[in-house]
């Protein structure tokens, strides 16, 4: 898996989170573990911050 796949997965989670709490923090952590196993360069904290809406998909400042 590459960056575009991780962003697509995070986008799916972000798009569905407001409507129902479909993913618990534990499930997000399990998904992060899976992603890390798929690609050693996976940036877990950046990915979780993007899902939480704290940054953009590349880790930079969130665009308004």
Q: What is the pTM of this model?
A: 0.80
Task: Indicate if the pLDDT at residue 60 is higher than 80.
Answer: no
Q: Is residue 12 a part of any domain in this protein?
A: yes
User: What is the pLDDT, as a whole number, of residue 22?
Assistant: 73
Q: In terms of residue numbers, what domain contains 16?
A: 3-51
Give the span between the Cα atoms of 51 and 25, in whole angstroms. Answer: 11
Instruction: Tell whether 34 is covered by a domain.
Output: yes
Q: Tally the domains of the chain.
A: 1
Residues 54, 62 contacting (CB under 8 angstroms): yes
Residue 59 lies in a domain: no
Per the domain annotation, does 24 fall within a domain? yes
The count of residues in the chain is 64
Look at residue 7 and tell me if it is in a domain: yes
- Identify the pLDDT of residue 18: 60
**Each residue's pLDDT tens digit, 8-58:** 999 988 887 664 567 888 989 999 999 999 999 999 999 999 998 888 887
Residue 61: partners with Cβ closer than 8 Å, 6 or more residues away: 55
- pLDDT, residue 17, reads 66
């Amino acid at each position: 898996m590459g960056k575009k796949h991780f962003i697509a997965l995070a986008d799916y989670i972000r798009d569905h989170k407001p409507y129902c709490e479909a993913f618990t923090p534990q499930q997000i952590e399990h998904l992060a573990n899976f992603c890390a196993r798929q690609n050693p360069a996976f940036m877990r904290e950046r990915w979780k911050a993007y899902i939480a809406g704290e940054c953009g998909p590349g880790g930079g400042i969130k665009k308004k």
